[in-house]
Structure 1
Amino acid sequence: MAWQWFHRLGSPRWFYEKTSRWLVWFAPLTILLMLLGIGWGLGFAPIDSKQGDSYRIIFIHMPAAALALAGYYIMAIAGAVGLIWKMKLPFMVMKSAAPIGAALTILTLATGSLWGHPTWGTFWEWDARNIFMLVLLFLYAGIVVLAEVYPSRDAADKACAILALVGTINVPIIYKSVDWWYSLHQPASIKLTGGSSIHASMLYPLLLCILAYYCFYTLALILYTRREILVREARTTWVVQLAQARLARGKGRPAEDAL
């Protein structure tokens, strides 16, 4: 049963049809969580005793950083599954994850700079974590470029998957950089083991923001993957029928007439 489910996940058509139903409720849920989390953090969380209101950028910065790192693992795992089991859909997921991860990394670096200026007195410091986050952006950008420059789609998928897998070594370095080298960055405020160093009045909206960002990432990944499926499967019968049905609905005729 599990093996059958696994192979279904490798079917572009199955994924497209299933996610059509999910988006009906998942998209509004994501928007609601984003509004609640960011609104709570920016508008109602208490002022920090040392940083004042400038700390509020954490509600945008920290979830973006967490997703930029976690998203790289998702992209690399998708590439590995595509290489090992020769499935088409994981390669589509891998390619779709790259621009989302790049955008989140840019947001992380930009908000970190805005936070760093009032905190450190500078927009940029060649701090270990900053450097390796910049490397992460280059890795994401490299995969975006590789996916487009190869004339062969199979070759592009394999090259992107290999780069994604090699680049995974950068992610734990980012996580541990504040422990391994002198860093202006503070240690982790939220810990899975032991107590968190952030007060509950700030922790709860931050956790809600992190949940909202994860939902947003999932939503964006689904939408990008659906687009990639339509591009790659454009000549298949089911995509042609889907396009005809949508065209018929647009002209006001029953979809069955177009099939």
Structure 2
Amino acid sequence: MIKWFAKVHWLLATAAVLSLLVGMWLVLAAPQDYQQGNAVRILYVHVPAAKMALLSYVVLTIASALYLWRRKEMWDILAEAAVSVGAAFTALTLASGSIWGKPMWGAWWAWDARLTSMLVLLILFMGLMALRNALDDPHKSARATAVLALIGAADLPIIHFSVVWWRTLHQPPSFDGPAKQTITGELLPPLFVMSLAFFLLGMWLLVLKSREIAARRQWEAVETERLERNHA
């Protein structure tokens, strides 16, 4: 598994770096928004980061469900990796949103439905990390985190539909089909490229973290076996 991860790792790393370079060039070359000015450039990071945060939790949910069903360690490794990657993208989403919100809303933070539900997502990721580290038995921690991850998945539709269900300060989806796009014209290509770049970056980080977790677990298994032989 680790050898396969290593091959995919370099392929995704190359694609992620190249697409990020192209995306950043498009972001810098894009015109200012007539309302937001240069602040619109923050959205080229904020929107892709938010999408990757949600996608990471989707991966976590699927991996957790498959682990509870099949009890295979590979799904628990993927779930643990998705927590770390998802937490990073969620934190970036909240940070970039606050930076954008200061000039647009006049405040770094507002208890908006979308912002609050994203904060709940970050708390879920952090809680899953804490729960896994709190339990010594790896099998118990894997089951407990998988169950909590499935329960926490209820936050995903709340995040996605929050701007539809409630009247919020947050703008509507940036692109959700041709009839619902709020970013159009020359501002749209950089957003698409940056979204692709963040997707590749997220997949790269997911593979990289999975590889690290698999190697760590193999090393711990070898150390445990060595200690048991020494005490025998």
TM-score calculated relative to the size of structure 2: 0.92
Rounded Cα–Cα distance in structure 2 between residues aligned with 1:168 and 1:87? 21
Name the amino acid aligned to 2:200: C
Name the amino acid aligned to 1:26: L
Rounded Cα–Cα distance in structure 1 between residues aligned with 2:25 and 2:144? 41
How many residues are aligned here?
222
8 Å Cα contact 1:38-1:60 kept in structure 2? no
Q: Does 1:219 align with 2:204?
A: yes
Which residue is 1:198 aligned to? 183
Which residue is 1:179 aligned to? 164
What whole-Å deviation, never above 9, does each CA across 1:57-115 have from its counterpart, x for those lacking one?
A: 00110000011111101011101101101110010110111111111111111110110
Rounded Cα–Cα distance in structure 2 between residues aligned with 1:18 and 1:66? 26
What whole-Å deviation, never above 9, does each CA across 1:221-242 have from its counterpart, x for those lacking one?
A: 10110111111122678xxxxx
**What is the deviation of 1:56?**
0.6
Which residue is 1:136 aligned to? 121
**What is the deviation of 1:157?**
0.4
CA RMSD of aligned residues (A): 1.4
Which residue is 1:82 aligned to? 67
Q: Does 1:21 align with 2:7?
A: yes
**What is the deviation of 1:23?**
2.6
8 Å Cα contact 2:81-2:206 kept in structure 1? yes
8 Å Cα contact 1:83-1:158 kept in structure 2? yes
Percent identity, please.
Answer: 36
Which residue is 1:256 aligned to? none
Name the amino acid aligned to 2:206: L
Q: 2:219 aligns with which of 234, 237, 240?
A: 234
Which residue is 2:77 aligned to? 92
Which residue is 1:9 aligned to? none
Distance change (3 Å), C-alpha of 1:169 and 1:195: closer
Which residue is 1:250 aligned to? none
Which of 1 and 2 has higher RCO (CA within 8 Å, sep 6+)?
Answer: 2
| Runs of 4+ residues over 6 Å off in structure 1 | none
**What is the deviation of 1:210?**
0.5
Larger Rg: 1
Stretches of structure 2 that go unaligned for 5 or more consecutive residues are 223-232
Stretches of structure 1 that go unaligned for 5 or more consecutive residues are 1-14, 238-259
